[in-house]
């Protein structure tokens, strides 16, 4: 393997100070997401979701954030997937956003629940048809014999539903993560990075600086 010991960047693009951050971390999150979009980053709404199984085994994967609504982070997936099973057993989860070219990371921890079915229906209805079919036919995270099995299932539904609307399958829908902590990380020179941690107590946020 390539020697990685000399790969390192100096982080000098920004700073984060507890005296000037907003009281509400969702305002700062909104600003940082907006900055990532404005900077033209690919998939600025991509995030890593970490879950933990009933047996205490962790797993992580990348998803797309679709909305922050009423202070909750909303994403869509298959309820019977590995992550779906893990969230059923253990709703505690964590999100990580990495906006590398802005030298920024956001970490969120909290509790996940399903969004109302009517909201999943509404979002499913505006997805492109091919994505709808994918959601219908894919037993996400389950082993399949080969690619042909999935493609055959896709084209079968594609042919059957040419003139029809596709209804959201019950196994697919949205989750919302209710944040308990949100940490903003801004890379700084000499590895003296800024870390500002917001923790939710009741309905109030407290702010602390963490050591880098
Ligand atoms: C950029 C990117 C975006 C993704 N967005 C989603 C998504 O929004 N929903 C989803 O279910 N999977 C998404 N995936 C696929 C997941 O990473 C993962 O493979 C899948 O959800 C199965 O995960 P699981 O087996 O842990 O449940 C995305 C992958 C990438 C790389």
Measured from the CA of 64, which atom of ligand 1 is nearest?
8
Residue whose Cα lies nearest atom 28 of ligand 1: it is: 63
d(CA 80, CA 170): 10
Give 203's pLDDT tier (boundaries 50, 70, 90). confident
CA angle 43, 48, 53 (to 5 degrees): 150
Domains of the chain, with CATH numbers? 25-209 (2.30.110.10)
With a 6 A CB cut-off, is 141 part of the ligand 1 pocket?
A: yes
Q: Which positions are annotated as active-site residues?
A: 191
With a 6 A CB cut-off, is 197 part of the ligand 1 pocket?
A: no
pLDDT single digits (tens) 14-54: 999 999 999 999 999 999 999 999 999 999 999 999 999 99
* Residues 209/195, Cβ–Cβ less than 8 Å: yes
With a 6 A CB cut-off, is 83 part of the ligand 1 pocket?
A: yes
Q: Which of 106, 107, 104, 124 lies closest to 115, judged by CA?
A: 124
Q: Which residue has the tokens 């000098």?
A: 12
Cα 60 to ligand 1 centre (Å): 10
pLDDT single digits (tens) 150-187: 999 999 999 999 989 999 999 999 999 999 999 999 99
- Per-residue burial over 132-148, b if 16 or more Cβ lie within 10 Å, else e, is bbbbbbbebeeeeeeee
Cα 46 to ligand 1 centre (Å): 10
- What residues contact 123, with CB distance under 8 A and at least 6 apart? 66, 76, 174
d(CA 133, CA 104): 36
DSSP code of residue 187: -
With a 6 A CB cut-off, is 208 part of the ligand 1 pocket?
A: no
């Amino acid at each position: 393997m390539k020697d990685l010991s000399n790969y390192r960047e100096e982080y000098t693009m920004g700073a984060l100070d507890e005296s000037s951050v907003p009281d509400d971390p969702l305002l700062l999150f909104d600003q940082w997401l907006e900055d990532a979009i404005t900077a033209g980053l690919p998939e600025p709404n991509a995030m890593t979701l970490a879950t933990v199984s009933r047996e205490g085994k962790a797993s992580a994967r990348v998803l797309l954030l679709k909305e922050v609504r009423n202070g909750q982070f909303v994403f869509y997936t298959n309820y019977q997937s590995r992550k779906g099973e893990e969230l059923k057993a253990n709703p505690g989860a964590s999100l990580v956003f990495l906006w590398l070219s802005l030298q920024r990371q956001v970490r969120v921890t909290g509790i996940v629940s399903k969004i109302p079915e009517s909201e999943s229906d509404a979002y499913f209805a505006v997805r492109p048809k091919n994505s709808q079919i994918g959601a219908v036919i894919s037993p996400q995270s389950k082993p399949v014999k080969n690619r042909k099995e999935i493609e055959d299932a896709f084209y079968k539904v594609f042919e059957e539903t040419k003139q029809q609307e596709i209804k959201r399958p019950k196994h697919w829908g949205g989750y919302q993560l209710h944040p308990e902590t949100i940490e903003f990380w801004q890379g700084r020179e000499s590895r003296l990075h800024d870390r500002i941690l917001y923790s939710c107590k009741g309905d109030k946020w407290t702010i602390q600086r963490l050591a880098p």
